[in-house]
Amino acid sequence: MLERIASPADLRGLTYGELGALAQEIRDYLVSSVSLTGGHLGPNLGVVELTLGLHRVFQSPHDTLVFDTGHQSYVHKLLTGRRDFSDLRKRGGLAGYPSRAESEHDVVENSHASTALSWAAGIARGRTLAGEHDRTTVGVIGDGALTGGMAWEALNSLADAHDRVVIVVNDNGRSYAPTIGGLARKLDGIRINPRYEQFLGWGKRTFENRGPWRNFAYRTVMHGKRAVKGLITEPGMFDDLGLKYVGPVDGHDLRQVEAALTAARDFGAPVIVHVLTEKGRGYTPAEEDVADRFHAVGRIHPETGLPVKPSRFGWTKVFAEEIVAVGRERDDVVALTAAMLAPVGLQPFADEFPERVIDVGIAEQHAVTSAAGLAFAGRHPVVAVYATFLNRAFDQVLMDVALHGAGVTFMLDRAGITGDDGPSHNGMWDMALLRHVPGLRLAAPRDAPTMRRAFRESLDVDDAPTVVRYPKGPVGDDLPAVRSVEDMDVLAEHGADPRVIVLGLGSMATTAIDAAEKVAAGGVRVTAMTATWVHPVPAGLVEALGDAELIVTIEDGLADAGIGEEWAAAARHAGHEARWMHRGVPREFLQHAARDQIVEQVGLDASAIADDVVAALD
């Protein structure tokens, strides 16, 4: 069946029996293909029938579909002609999120959640202003994205709009019980019937504000309508916003899904369709995974769901262990997460200290400002978040935490180049952004011991924000200092009075050691150094540079606005006249590929850096 589907138009002539067979084939294909590459499996197993219904009712790309979050778009990719998942999230293969470069059916990359409804509102208003009244914009929001405040800002705006928008709430959290029975479905149809709206409009014009008796009659009828609804169904969570609401609908019953979507489409103004789905549907290992229903997996054995290779001890695990140890010593430490409890390493802490963990949902802004409040109340909050997602709360870091001198620690997981999740997930912006925040102190540990120490030192700062950033993946070998010059650690020395000093920040310290060794092989005196606390400029920097003629900085953040440039400016201000060479990530969005491939692509591998150093000396 799947081979017969080259575009959404091919779905519209199928019987429901054929569609059921296709749904099963899609699930089988997702399990077999994603198990070979890794990716977001559970969310996509849950939206098979919903995505089929969307493409049968709406005519993409004439109608616009926006997925939030975008990791639930694999079925959409299959139905729009992208059937080769063999290189999913690999260089040259399909992206793990929607991609305009791949298909005219994709509009928003959307891996930072809770934005689809704002996109949909803007697109729909643009269609209205262009007179394109036959085009519907559909925002599919789910997998926790509705916990984000931006989604509710969009809903508030859409409630006052008259554009053709259908908001599909993909509810896979099992928070709501479905409304049962034909009468409830009939009420759904009545509520979004244009004649019903016309009747209510006539009633309002005829009775409201037309004298006390007519006002009384109007209010009585409206209260009666709400009372009858309340007797038959649970109150809709969107009623108070004034948005039309259909549901809950069984998201695995294609007939129900299509009926609800068709009625919403024909209404011609904003409508919410509440669809209940099951994450991991149809794949037993996912259905039995209590933690997250196989939300995202690496390479797995499809028969069992077990990983092909056990994951190595990683940076996140170091933090997970250390915060538990700290929690046993200090009862003032409170942890916050934005719907990422396990991925950022807070699950063990939550297991032992459940009352000291706050999961705010996908709401980074709220997490940061509430952390400032916790600090005011005498706690020391630890906000654990992916580096890429802290971008969303920069204003709160600046104005709520730093401005008020709040002692808040930020643990930035997956900092630097991450690779396969694509341009939105590389944590390459944090150092360039955060070094401008007054009073903020930032650490980039190079190994497990310096990370543990930096975390504990951050907890002793009670008058300013502190940040500890660390990469994705396994922790390398410990890199003890040969000697130190105040806060600068010497990692390797090749000859006295070096001509070249290579400064590697954080995980790039290993690259600095390797590059220095390659440069030294050519007979050049060279030293590799680093610092754990990289901002403000570490004490001892200028002294450690000595009389070197060339200083090289290596960081997995922006090269032209990062820590290296800050260090160079400080050295020049102090009268140090060496040349500087900054190596880091270019100011561009990096497409999905393996981390090693991107490192080589941007010239951050030790060989490329050593060649640049030798060329600069010549």
Active site residues: 279, 364, 392
Other CB atoms closer than 10 Å to residue 317's CB: what's the count?
Answer: 16
Say if CB 371 and CB 381 are below 8 A apart: yes
DSSP state at residue 380:
E
Query: Distance from CA of residue 517 to its chain's centroid?
Result: 38
Question: What does the block give as tokens for 353?
Answer: 């200290």
| Rounded Cα gap, residues 266 and 63, in angstroms | 13
Distances (CA, A) of 235 to 2, 154, 179, 246, 471: 40, 21, 11, 12, 45
Say if CB 585 and CB 551 are below 8 A apart: no
Our CA dihedral for 7, 12, 15, 17, rounded to 10 degrees, sits at 40
Other CB atoms closer than 10 Å to residue 180's CB: what's the count?
Answer: 10
3-state secondary structure of 415: strand
Say if CB 136 and CB 63 are below 8 A apart: yes
Query: Distance from CA of residue 396 to its chain's centroid?
Result: 18
**Tokens 């050691």 identify what position?**
513
Query: Distance from CA of residue 376 to its chain's centroid?
Result: 28
Of 521, 538, 542, nearest to 530 by C-alpha is 538
Say if CB 250 and CB 243 are below 8 A apart: no
Other CB atoms closer than 10 Å to residue 179's CB: what's the count?
Answer: 18
Evaluate the CA torsion angle 601, 72, 342, 292 in order and state its sign.
negative
Phi and psi at 581, nearest 5°, equal: -130, 125
| Rounded Cα gap, residues 93 and 187, in angstroms | 46
| Rounded Cα gap, residues 597 and 91, in angstroms | 8
Of 385, 366, 500, 476, nearest to 434 by C-alpha is 385
Query: Distance from CA of residue 521 to its chain's centroid?
Result: 43
Question: What does the block give as tokens for 268?
Answer: 């011609």
